[in-house]
Amino acid sequence: MTTANLPHFLAQKIGLDRRGVVYGLQLALSAWLAFAIASFLHIPNPFWAAMPVFVVAQATRGLAFERGLYRFVGTALGALAGFSMIHFIQDAPYASLLMLALWVAVFGALTHLLYGVHSYAALMAGITAVVVVIPCMFAPENYMQLALARVECTFIGVVMITLSSALLTPNADRDRFYLSVCEVAASACYLLGTTLNGTTKCGAAQEAEILQKISRLETSGIAIMAGSPAAAQHKRVINAMIVSTIGLLATSRRLHTHNRPGQPVAPQLGDALLAIAALTKEDANQILSEQRMDEALALAKATDPTLAQHLQRLLKGAKWLLTSDQESARFMFKPDAPVLAPATSWGLARQTGLLCGLITLVSASLAYVGGSFIGEMTALATAMFSLVLGSMVKPQIVAPFLLKGIIVGSIIAIGYRLAIFPHIHSTGLVVASILPFLLVGGMARASTMFGFPALDATMAFLLGSQAMLPARVVTSMDVMAESGSMILAACIVAGGFILLPRRSDRHVHEATSTVNRDLFRLINNSDKLGAGRWMARSVRQTLRLTAHLAQSSQRHSLAPAHLISALNFGHSIAQLQSMQDSWTPQTRAILQDLNAQLNTFTDEPNTLAATLMQYARDVQQPDVAAALWSASEALVAGRDFFAYRPGISRSHD
């Protein structure tokens, strides 16, 4: 290997291509300019200006803009709260700490209750309050200067990365994303088409694959759809399509039981759906022409009214996404369009809020009692790390990278402060001295090998470097102790999540409990939880379960087919309730205990299924009998879901 090829070889080894090099330089130079501006303006702690650059920067322009906006909003909110809290520091310090802990608990919980990039504002509101209040415990006379400096540094950093993102960061490929959404919908059409043709034996594998694709698309859509008002409209359409796609899966499973050998349910509709399943962007106008859609919808209405509703939304939504058809847009934006419930997790919210609030209260109180800068750094880092990791669904995955990054960054900061910083006596030299470290940090952040720990390493270095003038007078032991305090905080928080990880089984239990609880509400209080709202909530829990089951020990007890069956059970309940006004006196007499029986679905699903079958035989109204049969079949297919208990695996003959 020649010397000229060595840089290219090293770049390949650490996962850096040409685009990665540009991204790394963008990060480094944006952070350096932000640091330089804050330094020459003599803003206290100018290294805070460089830190937002590395956090806000994203692979797509829209996401970078949106994160920048929410970082500034969260910072302003946290700073305002911090201003009010530090008024009490001199007279009632522990009251201030208690208020801070409550603030952190509330906004730590909100990171799991706000959707997508919005949760970033809650995270920053919690972190900023910590950054404002804890340092002011040791310098209450300068609280306003410190708090304003934090906001000013954030503003400078966000502006710098926003400007560089506008110039250098590409837009998200939304057209490709819309096509992927339509392809998943087409897969559901294909599965239903084969079911109606009588050629699908079960479809469980296809259901699992489609649900996993939807889950991944929704996750990636947060980044792709960010930063554009027009994309927000598309997001509404995509959510409606997700609900209807899963509705098609449920319909396919429900109609599968109606197939008889040599007598498929609806072969003509099956053929029409198979033709739709071949959808591509190039032939969207032909496949989704008004004539072909009307023919398919007419066949669907004759087969199953609910199927027709789901299919119409899918076709109209796909046509608008692929061809921008205005008539389809008017249909998709009707007030009765289905919605997808927000991705909230109350269990994680409670857990995160309690954990972050308690850690902040204990660490800040110990620091205040100790009265040292080392204690301040430890409390600051502990509170921030708990918020950052607590905001994640699976923090144990990121925790090792955070720990490695903090250790590396803190060690480099020690070397900088001991070997380089003592020889620096002007602001210009401070700014120049930090550039090589930012270049290394930017390239490491852009590489596929070091990307995860590089972010935390850079944050730890900037915080530990204390690169500012006038410099604090410290000894070598103080320098090592201060950086060591960040390592200690990282070990405590990250080590806790590694040793006591958040289990997927708990998420699975929470999601199944939510679905079953909503089914109880649908049975007993249908006026408070209508069929539309129940569907929106249940589809959301279905996606949660899909995401968590792959990593859960209960994946052998539950399967996508069980989740789909739970949707069908709810659909049958809603059908029975909608037909109550048309029940004959004989039907009312037979079904007088129906609600009481339905309320046993989690205890004895098999027994209830047999009871509903008997009701179906006795009732003389065909539509009511069909709904009872469907409910019975859904109970049998989903009995493992309804009777699910954590750690208990049930097997059936």
Q: Is residue 3 part of a domain?
A: no
What's the average model confidence in pLDDT over 282-302? Answer: 92
Q: Is residue 429 part of a domain?
A: yes
In a shared domain, residues 408 and 530: no
Please confirm whether the linkage preceding 470 is cis (ω < 30° from 0).
yes
Q: Is residue 6 part of a domain?
A: no
Out of 185-199, 301-315, 428-442, 560-574, which region has the weakest mean confidence (pLDDT)? 560-574
Residue 234 has pLDDT above 80, yes or no: yes
Residue 650 has pLDDT above 60, yes or no: no
Reduced to 3 states (helix: H, G, I; strand: E, B; else coil), residue 14 is coil
- Confidence at residue 311, expressed as pLDDT on a 0 to 100 scale: 94
In a shared domain, residues 288 and 313: yes
Residues 6+ apart with CB under 8 A from 399: 389, 493, 494, 495, 497, 498
pLDDT tens by residue, 3-32: 556 566 667 777 788 888 899 999 999 999
The share of the chain scoring above pLDDT 70, in percent, equals: 93
Query: Which amino acid does the sequence have at 156?
Result: I
pLDDT higher at 225 or 440: 440
Domain with 113, as residue range(s), is 17-171+345-499
What's the average model confidence in pLDDT over 570-592? Answer: 91
In a shared domain, residues 33 and 167: yes
- Confidence at residue 527, expressed as pLDDT on a 0 to 100 scale: 61
Q: Is residue 340 part of a domain?
A: no
Residue where a domain stops, chosen among 301, 332, 363: 332
Residue where a domain stops, chosen among 442, 470, 499: 499
pLDDT tens by residue, 132-167: 888 887 776 666 777 788 889 989 998 998 888 888
Q: Are 377 and 479 in contact (CB under 8 A)?
A: no
DSSP 199: -
In a shared domain, residues 524 and 599: yes
Q: Is residue 218 part of a domain?
A: yes
The average confidence (pLDDT) of the chain is 87
pLDDT tens by residue, 543-573: 888 877 766 665 556 677 778 888 999 999 9
Closest CA to 522 of 582, 599, 592, 581: 599
d(C-alpha 344, C-alpha 133), whole Å: 29
Question: Domain with 182 in it: what CATH number?
Answer: 1.20.120
What is the radius of gyration, based on Cα positions, of the chain? 29
pLDDT tens by residue, 491-503: 999 999 999 888 8
d(C-alpha 493, C-alpha 481), whole Å: 18
In a shared domain, residues 419 and 524: no
d(C-alpha 19, C-alpha 573), whole Å: 54
In a shared domain, residues 632 and 525: yes
pLDDT tens by residue, 450-491: 988 999 999 999 999 999 988 888 899 999 999 999 999 999
Q: Are 261 and 320 in contact (CB under 8 A)?
A: no
In a shared domain, residues 315 and 371: no
Residue where a domain stops, chosen among 309, 332, 355: 332
DSSP 647: T
In a shared domain, residues 199 and 287: yes
d(C-alpha 432, C-alpha 85), whole Å: 37
Q: Are 409 and 444 in contact (CB under 8 A)?
A: no
Residue 652 — very low, low, confident or very high, per pLDDT cuts 50/70/90?
A: very low
In a shared domain, residues 190 and 152: no
- Confidence at residue 63, expressed as pLDDT on a 0 to 100 scale: 85
Q: Is residue 513 part of a domain?
A: no
Q: Is residue 541 part of a domain?
A: yes
Q: Is residue 511 part of a domain?
A: no
In a shared domain, residues 573 and 481: no
In a shared domain, residues 540 and 484: no
User: Which string of b and e fits 114-153 if b means at least 16 CB within 10 Å?
Assistant: bebbbbbbbbbbbbbbbbbbbbbbeebeebeebbebbbbb
In a shared domain, residues 495 and 575: no
- Confidence at residue 647, expressed as pLDDT on a 0 to 100 scale: 47
How many domains is the chain partitioned into structurally?
3
